[in-house]
């Protein structure tokens, strides 16, 4: 690659994707946010405060762990896990909420709202809101409120109001709709912390920039431990924030393969899945143009995944661009396969992954054996599995 990757353009476009597809009332707050983000992105004081928080509050850098036993067992490439599960609150989500909350504070906003699917982003948001003393309202689909009840309780303990969203499919997309409705109503004092690289510009770029710490650290750590770049990166893709966070610092390193893993639910062929990049087509939802799961009339269709955090019909617009340009590859893993990944990592390495991250583990089990023993895969272990104990137990017919 001769030219350095430089996306998005100033209006937030990644080729035909991204952009700013919002109702007029949201244009001024989005412009205000973009101005603040551009200003503080290069502000040494802001960066210093963010870095200090990431170190002392989140616990960064997160380890890059060589899963030797699992690598040996699979008989191929060396697998390194980027341990985002060890962050405070248990997932990568806090990298982003810390950053956005600092922006909110700089912008003088007193009220924070967020959407959440698995509840990890909701917890990470409620956490930073508690710490900064900001009012916090979390929107969560009523279906997810049930399947991630532990996280609902955590958010409440942290002082957040959790609103169960009863409209539409009652999952993540509907939570996002409701958060947008709140924002349009309370634009003056409210900061909307979007939890993934979706939404209107500047969110996809801004959330990516906050999550890119994952890839920057991993790149350095891989250099330190193995003395070279990895050959492949693997991460699960819901909205795509942990994936882009890992990928972004490697985009110009063309020898590094980047593989995003979508949720195939019951299987792509059944139609019951959450894999817009693998099986959807471009459209506009939640402020940007990207690959979507929709019917012929452009109505968004319901998604299915065992993991609430991947249960979303869209995907960050930058992934749409990386797919079309061929820089990244997108594959899919069914619920059943994800469970195999879940158990494998748990039994082989003593690490219980989140069901979202388990999709990346399951794909790694297919990929590693096909690679050479001196090759390296970095897999993003985006979160820990504590929140999924109920789902797992229920699935296996065990009463807790």
Partner 1 sequence: MSRLAATFEQLSKTGRKALIPFITAGDPSPDFTLPLMHAMVEAGADVIELGVPFSDPMADGPVIQRASERALDHKMSLRRVLAIATEFRKTNQQTPVVLMGYVNPIEAMGYEDFANAAQRAEIDGVLTVDLPPEEAEECVALLKVRDIDPIFLLAPNSTDERIKKMDAAGSGYLYYVSLKGVTGAGHLNTADVETKLKQIRANTRLPVAIGFGVKDAQTAKTVAGLGDGVVVGSALISKIEANLDNLERAKIEIVELLVAMRQAM
Ligand X SMILES: Cc1ncc(COP(=O)(O)O)c(C=O)c1O
Dihedral over alpha carbons 330, 336, 339, 345 (to 10 degrees): -60
Whose CA is closest to 75, among 379, 371, 346? 371
Q: Is 138 in the site for ligand X (CB under 6 A)?
A: no
For residue 378 the two structure tokens come to 């970095």
Q: Which residues pair with 112 in a beta bridge?
A: 136, 191
Residues 37-96 close enough to bind partner 1 by CB under 8 A: none
Beta-carbon count within 10 A of 328 CB:
24
Of 33, 113, 118, 176, the one binding ligand X (CB under 6 A) is 118
Whose CA is closest to 332, among 388, 276, 251, 383? 276
CB of 45 or CB of 297, closer to partner 1: 297
46-54, 265-273, 286-294, 356-364 -> range binding partner 1 (CB under 8 A): 286-294
Burial label for 326, CB within 10 Å (0-12, 13-18, 19+), is exposed
Residue 294: active-site member? no
CB of 85 or CB of 174, closer to partner 1: 174
CB of 303 to partner 1, least distance (A): 12
DSSP notation for 287-337? EEEEEE-B-TTSPBPP---SSGGG--S---HHHHHHHHHTSEEEEEEEHHH
CB of 146 or CB of 284, closer to partner 1: 284
Q: Choose the one of partner 1, ligand X, none that binds residue 338, judging by a C-beta under 5 to 8 angstroms depending on kind.
A: none
CA distance 318 to 227: 29
Q: Is 33 in the site for ligand X (CB under 6 A)?
A: no
Q: Is 136 in the site for ligand X (CB under 6 A)?
A: no
Residue 217: active-site member? no
Of 71, 78, 100, 120, the one binding ligand X (CB under 6 A) is 120
Burial label for 285, CB within 10 Å (0-12, 13-18, 19+), is buried
Residues 54-93 close enough to bind ligand X by CB under 6 A: 91
3-class secondary-structure state, position 133: coil
CA distance 166 to 141: 7
Q: Choose the one of partner 1, ligand X, none that binds residue 381, judging by a C-beta under 5 to 8 angstroms depending on kind.
A: none
At a CB cut-off of 8 Å and minimum separation 6, what does 83 contact?
A: 62, 63, 64, 65, 381
Residue 93: active-site member? yes
CB of 380 to ligand X, least distance (A): 8
Total residues in contact with ligand X, by rule CB under 6 A:
21
Q: Is 28 in the site for partner 1 (CB under 8 A)?
A: yes
Q: Is 122 in the site for ligand X (CB under 6 A)?
A: no
CA distance 285 to 103: 25
Residues 184-203 close enough to bind ligand X by CB under 6 A: 196
Residues 222-251 close enough to bind ligand X by CB under 6 A: 236-243
Q: Is 285 in the site for partner 1 (CB under 8 A)?
A: yes
Of 109, 170, 173, 323, the one binding partner 1 (CB under 8 A) is 173
At a CB cut-off of 8 Å and minimum separation 6, what does 173 contact?
A: 141, 285, 286, 300, 303, 312, 313, 314
| Binding region for partner 1 (CB under 8 A) | 11, 19-25, 27-29, 167-168, 173-174, 177, 180-181, 184-188, 282-287, 289, 292, 294, 296-301
Catalytic residue list: 93, 115, 382
| Binding region for ligand X (CB under 6 A) | 91, 117-118, 120-121, 196, 236-243, 309-310, 354, 356-357, 382-383
């Amino acid at each position: 690659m001769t030219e350095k990757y430089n996306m998005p353009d100033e209006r937030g476009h990644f080729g035909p994707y991204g952009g700013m597809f919002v109702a007029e009332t949201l244009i001024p707050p989005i412009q205000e946010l973009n101005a603040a983000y551009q200003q503080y992105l290069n502000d040494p004081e802001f960066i210093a405060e963010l870095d200090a928080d990431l170190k002392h509050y989140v616990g960064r850098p997160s380890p890059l762990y060589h899963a030797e036993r699992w690598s040996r067992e699979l008989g191929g490439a060396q697998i390194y896990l980027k341990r985002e599960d060890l962050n405070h609150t248990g997932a990568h989500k806090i990298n982003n909420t810390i950053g956005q909350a600092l922006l909110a504070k700089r912008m003088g906003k007193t009220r924070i709202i967020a959407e959440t699917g698995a509840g990890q982003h909701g917890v990470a948001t409620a956490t930073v809101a508690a710490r900064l003393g900001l009012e916090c309202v979390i929107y969560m689909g009523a279906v997810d409120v049930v399947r991630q009840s532990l996280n609902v309780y955590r958010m409440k303990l942290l002082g957040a109001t959790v609103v169960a969203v009863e409209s539409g499919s009652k999952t993540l997309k509907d939570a996002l709709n409701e958060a947008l409705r709140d924002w349009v109503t309370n634009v003056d004092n409210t900061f909307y912390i979007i939890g993934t690289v979706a939404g209107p510009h500047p969110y996809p770029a801004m959330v990516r920039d906050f999550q890119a710490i994952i890839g920057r650290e991993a790149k350095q750590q891989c250099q330190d431990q193995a003395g070279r770049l990895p050959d492949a990166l693997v991460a699960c893709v819901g909205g795509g924030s942990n994936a882009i966070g890992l990928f972004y610092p490697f985009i110009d390193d063309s020898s590094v393969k980047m593989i995003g893993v979508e949720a195939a639910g019951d299987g792509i062929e059944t139609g019951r899945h959450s894999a817009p990049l693998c099986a959807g087509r471009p459209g506009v939802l939640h402020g940007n143009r990207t690959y979507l799961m929709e019917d012929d009339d452009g109505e968004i269709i319901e998604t299915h995944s065992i993991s609430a955090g991947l249960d979303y019909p869209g995907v960050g617009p930058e992934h749409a661009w990386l797919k079309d340009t061929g820089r990244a590859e997108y594959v899919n893993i069914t619920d059943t396969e994800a469970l195999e990944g879940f158990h494998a990592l748990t039994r082989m390495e003593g690490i219980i992954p989140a069901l979202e991250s388990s999709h990346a583990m399951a794909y790694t089990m297919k990929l590693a054996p096909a690679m050479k023993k001196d090759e390296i895969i970095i897999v993003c272990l985006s979160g820990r599995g504590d929140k999924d104990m109920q789902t797992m137990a229920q699935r296996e017919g065990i009463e807790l």
